Amino acid sequence: MKILGIETSCDETAVAIYEGDTATGLGVLLAEQVASQIETHARFGGVVPEVASREHLVALPPMVESILAEAELTWAQIDEIAVTAGPGLMGALLVGTSYARAAGMVHNIPVSPVHHMEGHLLAPGLAGVLPEFPFITLLVSGGHTMLVRVDAIGKYSVIGQTLDDAAGECFDKSARLLGLPYPGGPEIAMLAKGGDAKRFKLPRPMLNKDNLDFSFSGLKTAVMYAVKAAGGVESFDLQTMKDMAAGIETATCEVLVKKSIRACLREDAPRLVIAGGVAANETLRNMLFKLAEAKGVEVHLPHPKHCTDNAAMIAYAGFQHQCAGLAAPDEWDATPRWTLHS
């Protein structure tokens, strides 16, 4: 079957077509496109919801027609439309879901709502096959940082989550303190190369707490005080900037990695997936593989291009629903808050 995926939950407009065989669970990505709005929102220091919605309205229709042409398909050859229904920015979600429903009605194609975070946790399957159940997924995307136990497609249990700032938010806010542009994660990662992560003594929030939850607001505050104590960012030379960036990146990644491995061991599920935008971070990946090997945990990561928001993961999630025999609900709507659970 051929599934058209649509993703408009935040500031990326994305479409993709995935073809799979429900009998084997195997398939291939036929085509995908992503239109980023980073430059549009960068001058505001973050995403402006109304602006994001208007950008989606302009970009989505021609992108869908373009992706059909790229895959050499017509609407009549599409078997299902899978669309992100939440969580996300309400206006942005409504653009995608409204388009999907209209297209489905016009072309007589069923439409399936997909949880944005489910798309991320299944994204490694785009590169081959999913790990054996059960497995643990660390989801680090935008305002989300959570640990999820995956027992089957559609059977998810949140076993840990952030109590305040997510990892991505910590990167963005820390970057702003250093005078770096939005989004902060990639900027800090680039600046951290060649930096001394031990120069500034930054905390590892909740790392020694006997739970699987996260907290990154304290790290961001510690960065603010460290910058002030060092004379303010205006006095920083390039090496000092690199050292501070390396310290922020290492502190954040250490917490994410150690908590994730702890979750695998505690849940007796020695298979780990890390997905979401922060999963593309090289320091995180290197630190993860080193500790996972020492602890006997098997690691599965999406391709870097499928770590950030994309429609391939949404189409793939829709395909996996079909393989598992999960029918779309009769009634559903876009929802900015949608808990990920069975």
Question: Are 165 and 288 in the same domain?
Answer: yes
> SS3 string of the chain?
CEEEEEECCCCEEEEEEEEEECCCCEEEEEEEEEEECHHHHHCCCCCCHHHHHHHHHHHHHHHHHHHHHHCCCCHHHCCEEEEEEECCCHHHHHHHHHHHHHHHHHHCCCEEEEEHHHHHHHHHHHHCCCCCCCEEEEEEECCEEEEEEEEECCEEEEEEEECCCCHHHHHHHHHHHCCCCCCHHHHHHHHHCCCCCCCCCCCCCCCCCCCCCECCHHHHHHHHHHHHHCCCHHHCCHHHHHHHHHHHHHHHHHHHHHHHHHHHHHCCCCEEEEECHHHHCHHHHHHHHHHHHHHCCEEECCCHHHCCCCCHHHHHHHHHHHHCCCCCCCCCCCCCCCCCCC
The answer to whether 196 is a known ligand-binding residue is no
Question: Are 155 and 274 in the same domain?
Answer: yes
Question: Are 267 and 160 in the same domain?
Answer: yes
The answer to whether 306 is a known ligand-binding residue is no
Say if residue 342's pLDDT is above 90.
no
For residue 228, tell me if it sits in a domain: yes
Domain that holds residue 61: 2-123+306-323
For residue 57, tell me if it sits in a domain: yes
Rounded percentage of the chain residues whose pLDDT exceeds 90: 90
Question: Are 147 and 260 in the same domain?
Answer: yes
The answer to whether 309 is a known ligand-binding residue is yes
The answer to whether 281 is a known ligand-binding residue is yes
For residue 291, tell me if it sits in a domain: yes
Q: pLDDT of 284-316, one tens digit each?
A: 999 999 999 999 999 998 998 999 999 999 999
Say if residue 55's pLDDT is above 80.
yes
Question: Are 110 and 75 in the same domain?
Answer: yes
Say if residue 128's pLDDT is above 90.
no
Q: pLDDT of 13-31, one tens digit each?
A: 999 999 999 999 999 999 9
Question: Are 114 and 202 in the same domain?
Answer: no
The answer to whether 140 is a known ligand-binding residue is yes
The answer to whether 321 is a known ligand-binding residue is no
Say if residue 44's pLDDT is above 90.
no
The answer to whether 185 is a known ligand-binding residue is yes
Retrieve residue 283's tokens.
Answer: 């320091």
Question: Are 140 and 115 in the same domain?
Answer: no
Say if residue 162's pLDDT is above 90.
yes
Question: Are 108 and 140 in the same domain?
Answer: no
Q: What is the CATH number of the domain that holds 115?
A: 3.30.420.40
The answer to whether 325 is a known ligand-binding residue is no
Question: Are 229 and 310 in the same domain?
Answer: no
Q: How many domains does the chain have?
A: 2
Mean pLDDT, the chain, whole residue set: 95
